[in-house]
Each structure stands twice: as structure tokens, then as C-alpha cells.
Amino acid sequence: MKEKFETNSNSNVLFVTENCNNNCIMCCQPPKRCNDFNYCFEQNIKLIKTAPRDVKTVCITGGEPTLAGDNFFKLIELVRENLPETEIHILTTDVILPI
Ligand code: SF4
């Protein structure tokens, strides 16, 4: 995990969890069952709060990021509040309807 976001990088990632409810044969990081949600959430808050305002993109990923429940939506809100012009990419197998 990066310790800081970079303005023009395509690899600014918010890693939400190693847990996943899929078992894709091509997975390069097979899911783990672990309670890493709070740790990752705290790390992600630091990344968002220290990010340059002109970061082009942020990717929210895991594992399956929606397994973080309310904290998944809080992360999206935090990115939008702190980085209003930044594109948010979400790597998920769940369907997310537009808000
Ligand atoms: S959804 Fe992603 S993290 Fe989960 S098993 Fe598939 S490739 Fe791996």
C-alpha cells in the first residue's frame, strides 16, 4: 500500500480489505478471512486527508470493498469531500446503483 497519493499516478489505491466473497480462478491475491476492516479504514482516512487536491483518480479496491459495509460508503464520501474533482474507480463484483 502506498503511503501517499501522487497527483498524476494511476495507482492511487484505497485498499479496503483482503476479504472477498468471490473465488475467482485468476485472482492474484487469493482472499483471506481476517478482520482488517478497521485497520484499512484508518489507513485510508490518512491517505485521503494527506492527498494533493488535484489527484486525478482514486481506486477503491480489495478483496471485495463493499464487504466493509458503512465504511465503504464513508470512504466514498470522504474522497468526495476532500477531493471533489477526483475520479473514483471502484473494483467490485457487486452492483452499485448510482446515488
Ligand atoms: S473478486 Fe477480485 S479479490 Fe475477489 S477473488 Fe475475484 S479477483 Fe480475487
- Give the pLDDT confidence score for residue 95 in this predicted structure: 76
Q: pTM for the full model?
A: 0.90
- In ligand 1, the atom with minimum distance to the C-alpha of 63 is 3
Please indicate whether residue 20, judged by its CB atom, sits closer than 6 Å to ligand 1.
yes
**Residue 21 alpha carbon, nearest atom of ligand 1:** 4
- Give residue 10's pLDDT: 84
Neighbours of 13 (CB within 10 A): 19
* Beta carbon of 65 within 6 Å of any ligand 1 atom: no
3-state helix/strand/coil string of 27-70: CCCCCCCCCCHHHHHHHHHHHHHCCCCCCCEEEEECCCHHHHCH
Q: What value, to the nearest 5°, has the Cα angle with vertex 37 and ends 66 and 29?
A: 75
pLDDT per residue as tens digits for the range 64-86: 999 999 999 999 999 999 999 99
CB 52 within 8 A of CB 5: yes
| pLDDT score at 76 | 97
